[in-house]
Amino acid sequence: MRLSILFTLVSFLFLSQVWGQDTDLLLNHDGYHYIDRLDIRGYTDDVVHTDIKPYGRLALKEVFDKVDTSRMGKNERKWNHHMRILLDDQYATEQQGKGLFKVFYKNKRDFYHYKGKALTVFVNPVLYTSWGQDFHNYNGDTENRRISYNTRGLVIRGSLFDKVGFYSEAYDNQSFFPQFVQNRYEETDALFGETFIKPFKPDTSKNTSGLDYFSSRAYITYSPHKAIRIKFGKDRAFWGNGFQNLVLSDYAADYLMLSINTRFWKMEYTNHFMQMIDFIPNKPDQIGTFPRKYGAFHQLSYKPNKNLSVGFFESIIYASQQPNGNRGFELQYLNPVIFYRSVEQLLGSPDNAFFGFNLKYNFLKHFQVYGQFLLDDFNFSRRNQGSKYWGNKFGYQAGLKYIDAFTIPTLDLQIEYNRLRPYTYQHFNISANYAHYGQYLGHASGGNLSDIYFGLRYHPIPSLNIQFSYSRMMKGLDEPGVNNGGDITKSYSYDRPREFDHVPGQGVALNVNTLFGRLTYQIMNTDVYVELEGRYRTENDFKSASILGGIRANIAPRPIKF
């Protein structure tokens, strides 16, 4: 019987009519900014619904096929050529040349690539080597700390029989982060975007420690119909159009996921199932594995025309461990079209449920307004008892993008505002909080806050990218023995100071201001860059300034968003 099931599965995968397969563009790649520009110009149409990232490369090829480069200036046409080589595999293959030793960089982009009847494969080294200094003033002492990133690895991606896409990457890291990142790690025992961390001190005579960690990501994709795309493996996602994200961001580490994307008419429907880790700081190996926790998300996006997009989403985060025993995986949440809240109530309301929507509108070929609304909980019965009830937990985002600002080609601006009420993302069962491996799944700084972000990007020449940003966050921290609603790893059932009059930022005030700049130069048409970046950050009375320079190859930078 097992052989029969295996034969049926293989037949389904390789003998049925299946549409071409691809892999996804890495999150945080510069290509996402360029696709934003094409979206505002009206080229994405119903090919790419920008509410959900990452994007598949075949979909990006369809977008580039529609672009009218005759209306672009000379500089913009060159930039489009650079970006298309990076994002469109077929276009890159058409750049075929002799390459290096007639083997490497034959398409002027990939270290090695091969295209045959059964197999298409792209192989590239992963490298991130940079050095710099962090000057900081913490606890009244002014110190300097070396910062560096040393990442080496390999990424392999491609397709098999044009029916199954595959992606795999692995790389080793030794990093010396700025002091404020090191402080966050020492407080939480978790590093944003990563899992198992090993601290080390290469020079015991200096008060400088580094972090050693191994990163890996792998998944497969499959399409039984041109309107359906299935993805299974270890990766992450980003649902929204902003710099921050209230719903599902890429701040946390990768997790095991199954994502099913269905496109029909002017709609796109996404099911996203996750297995995550209920992180226990400093867990001894002897007690066994970390407990598991699970997430089930779905979103329906409607795009009536090339300018307007509306998406409605809901999600459930739940823990396998319950007071009455080990629950395991909840099969009822696998129903791809049911209203999750009705299931959650049926089960006895044990889980952390969310609902909300995304909105995006492009106008005048230069502007995009976007926003998100996240509802964790709202109690209408308490309206007559007082205002600002603690259980009314929600947040919202509003933003504006402006491309070719003030008629300056390739100068793009963005401004964004986020606001989250206290206790948003918290749950009475701390294992069901909105976090994976101790890292937040939504906004990078949790709840009980408001923040504003301003970003600028400019490409004076196609290979040169200038970035600048300023952000200010106002967050309320806890006092001893008091839960003010900002730490999502706590239970909202304990230590609340009162029932009403709760406002974002309550508690011990934390004000964080960050100025950031990055200068990036792309080497030829490869995904290799020489970079120089600087950051100035204040956190109440603490100040830090850092500068960092180096080279990055075939890896997307993870922006520090807290």
CATH number for the domain that contains residue 27: 2.40.160.130
Structure tokens that stand for 240 in this block: 């929204």
3-state secondary structure of 222: strand
Instruction: Give the residue carrying structure tokens 């429907």.
Output: 269
Residue 206 confidence (pLDDT): 56
Cα-Cα-Cα-Cα dihedral sign, residues 198, 203, 206, 208: negative
Which residue in 252, 243, 355 sits closest to 296, CA to CA? 355
Q: How far apart are CA 444 and CA 418, in angstroms?
A: 11
Residue 379 confidence (pLDDT): 83
227 assigned to some structural domain = yes
Alpha helix ranges (H) inside 107-198: 179-188
401 assigned to some structural domain = yes
Instruction: Give the residue carrying structure tokens 């239970």.
Output: 491
Q: How far apart are CA 138 and CA 194, in angstroms?
A: 25
Q: How far apart are CA 398 and CA 232, in angstroms?
A: 32
Residue 340 confidence (pLDDT): 79
4 assigned to some structural domain = no
In degrees and rounded to multiples of 5, residue 167 shows phi and psi of: -145, 135
Cα-Cα-Cα-Cα dihedral sign, residues 43, 45, 51, 54: negative
Q: What is the pLDDT along the chain (562 residues), one digit of tens a residue?
A: 444 444 444 444 444 454 567 899 999 999 999 999 999 999 987 788 899 999 999 999 999 999 999 888 888 999 999 999 999 999 998 887 777 888 899 888 999 999 998 999 999 999 999 999 999 987 677 889 999 999 999 999 999 988 899 999 999 999 999 999 999 999 989 999 999 999 987 655 456 789 999 999 999 999 988 889 999 999 999 999 999 999 999 999 999 999 999 998 899 999 999 999 999 888 877 788 888 999 999 999 999 998 999 999 999 999 887 766 677 778 888 888 878 778 877 777 788 999 999 999 999 999 999 999 999 988 887 777 878 999 999 999 999 999 999 999 999 999 999 999 999 999 999 999 999 999 999 999 999 999 999 999 999 999 999 999 999 999 999 999 999 999 999 999 999 999 999 999 999 999 999 999 999 999 998 999 999 999 999 999 899 999 999 999 999 988 999 8
Structure tokens that stand for 230 in this block: 């299935």
Q: What string of DSSP letters covers 226-265?
A: TTEEEEEEEE--EESSSSS-SSB-S-SPPEEEEEEEEEET
CA 473 to each of CA 188, 239, 259, 420, 540: distance values in angstroms, whole numbers, following the listed order: 20, 21, 33, 11, 11
Residue 10 confidence (pLDDT): 47
Residue 15 confidence (pLDDT): 46
Interaxial angle between packed helices 31-41 and 57-66, expressed in degrees from 0 to 180 and rounded to the nearest 10: 40
10 assigned to some structural domain = no
Residue 542 CB partners (closer than 8 Å, separation 6+):
136, 137, 138, 180
Side chain identity at 262, as an amino acid letter? T
Structure tokens that stand for 458 in this block: 């400019």
**Residue 478 Cα to chain centre, angstroms:** 27
* Cα 535-537-543 angle, rounded to 5 deg: 125
Sort residue 105 into left (φ over 0), alpha (ψ -120 to 50) or beta.
left
What residue numbers bound the domain in which 294 lies?
A: 17-553
Cβ atoms 256, 275 nearer than 8 A? yes
Cα-Cα-Cα-Cα dihedral sign, residues 298, 302, 303, 309: negative
Cβ atoms 442, 427 nearer than 8 A? no
**Residue 197 Cα to chain centre, angstroms:** 20
Residue 325 confidence (pLDDT): 67
Q: How far apart are CA 400 and CA 56, in angstroms?
A: 25
11 assigned to some structural domain = no
Cβ atoms 7, 15 nearer than 8 A? no
6 assigned to some structural domain = no
Ranges of beta strands (E only) in 461-541 are 464-477, 508-522, 528-539
Q: How far apart are CA 21 and CA 17, in angstroms?
A: 12
In degrees and rounded to multiples of 5, residue 66 shows phi and psi of: -90, -10
562 assigned to some structural domain = no
Which residue in 235, 110, 100 sits closest to 167, CA to CA? 235
**Global pTM value:** 0.92
Structural domains of the chain, count: 1
Side chain identity at 105, as an amino acid letter? Y
In degrees and rounded to multiples of 5, residue 85 shows phi and psi of: -60, -40
Q: How far apart are CA 364 and CA 202, in angstroms?
A: 56
9 assigned to some structural domain = no
Residue 520 CB partners (closer than 8 Å, separation 6+):
30, 464, 465, 466, 467, 529, 530, 531
